[in-house]
Amino acid sequence: MIRALRQEDLPDVLNIEAQGYSFPWSESVFLGCFRPDYRLWALEWGQRLSGYAVVAYMVGEAHLLNLCVAPAKQGNGGGRRLLRHLVLEAARDGMSQVLLEVRASNRAAIDLYAAEGFDVIGRRKGYYPAGREREDALVMALPLGR
113 a catalytic residue: yes
Q: How confident is the model at residue 46, as a pLDDT?
A: 85
Report which residue type is found at 85. Answer: H
Strand (E) or helix (H) holding 47? none
Q: Residue 124, SS3? A: strand
Distance of CA 129 to the CA centre of its chain: 17
Q: Is 116 one of the catalytic residues?
A: no
* pTM (2 d.p.): 0.93
User: Does the annotation flag 66 for ligand binding?
Assistant: no
User: Residues 12-41: pLDDT tens digits?
Assistant: 999 999 998 888 999 999 999 999 999 999
Q: Which of 89, 113, 116, 128 is catalytic?
A: 113
Phi/psi at 65 (nearest 5 deg)? -95, -30
Residue from 17, 52, 101, 128 carrying the catalytic annotation:
101
